[in-house]
Amino acid sequence: MKSFLEYLLEDFKRVDEYHFQKRDFSHRDQWNYLKSVLGIMSSGSELSLGTFSTSAVVDFSKGHNKEIVAELSANIDFGKNPPIELSEFNNITKKAKPSFVWQDIFKQPFSHATNRREDEIKQVTDLNTQIAGLGGKVKLKINNNFYYIVSAESVPGNPKADIALIGSENEDSKEQKPCVFLSLKKGLKISDFGGYGGISDKLFAKAEKAKSVTDEDHKTIMKFVKSFKKFIKNNKNKFKGRFSNEKIKPTKNLQLISIYGYESGYGPGNDNNKPFSTHKCNAIVQGDIKLVKKSGYYVLSATEIHEYPEIPDGKGTPIFCARVSNDRDDFGCKGTRFGIFPEGFLSKKHVNNNYER
């Protein structure tokens, strides 16, 4: 007989779709969808509209739509579930350009949002339990610095960091604030890992603004994009899986940006002394996070953990990848997302090959 958990996991996709499209905000699963959508909007990112693919994009970083974000923010109470009622949400978003309501949102990017959220909550809960068990304050060493950590919390919105550790660099400081930022990766194996990060015109613009990229970075990206377009042309515009090119490798700067966030690179005018933040993570972590005692301090341990500015090697080596994604049209390539992935996520048959999963 199947366990109740196995039953839930098998039936998860249908339940997800049902709660996303349900015409109210009455169910807790839908609250996670709602919070994910609100995070996209409040961070000034793009939200896709459409049923089976992207039919339009709402950019919340521009003009009139900034006013929509402000109006939403004034009517949201994250202390309540749901933070805003459906009718109120729709009345506000109808005024966006282009206009939309909840049911118009392309749901694929939020698929299994509840599952991801639950893993994040579990990690935060476990860390807070460990910190409390160690007296409520832990001297943590990371990136060759010491921090006095008093708690952990989830990072709202959709930045690179998923978890922030709260504390200070001074043991006696009364001011407690986010000071260590962690990016979580799913699963326990490199094949579960997913991508390090996307590369798109919009992300690149943010990295340029943060002075984290160079002309060489841009040339390398475009070289890979050009090789993909040539591959597509040679295959009569058919693309059904993933594509990589082992002869074109991302620069160190691009690797850092994709792994740790767009403020992580060594671009012109950036001496890389920027403090760690939600867009410059101290570490990426896969698996359960543990506080491990050393001589007079603690360190983080997990199945896989890399501290900035470490670049993983072996199966974790960052490589370029283009993959099918109906919600994206990166670099003018319809239904395609470009990113940087660990080498172990792609098998040899993916390289220079139109691989159908």
CB burial of 208-231 (b: ≥16 within 10 Å; e: otherwise) equals bebbbbbeebeebbeebbebbbeb
Please, what is the end-to-end C-alpha distance for the chain in angstroms?
31
Q: Are 160 and 197 in contact (CB under 8 A)?
A: yes
Query: What's the CA gap between 224 and 321, in Å, rounded?
Result: 9
Of the CA atoms within 13 Å of residue 66, those in its CB half-sphere come to 3
What is the arithmetic mean of pLDDT over 17-40?
A: 76
Torsion of CA 342, 347, 348, 353, to 10 degrees: -100
Residues 265-322: tens digit of each pLDDT: 887 765 567 889 999 999 999 999 999 999 999 999 999 999 999 999 998 999 999 9
Residues 139-188: tens digit of each pLDDT: 999 999 999 999 998 887 778 999 999 999 999 888 899 999 999 987 77
Kindly state the helix (H) or strand (E) to which residue 7 belongs, with its residue range: helix 4-10
User: pTM for this structure?
Assistant: 0.67
Task: Give me the pLDDT at residue 201, please.
Answer: 74
Place 26 in a pLDDT band, splitting at 50, 70 and 90. confident
Task: Give me the pLDDT at residue 5, please.
Answer: 37
The domain spans of the chain are: 4-111, 113-185+272-308, 193-264+313-356
Q: Could you tell me what percent of the chain has a pLDDT over 90? A: 41
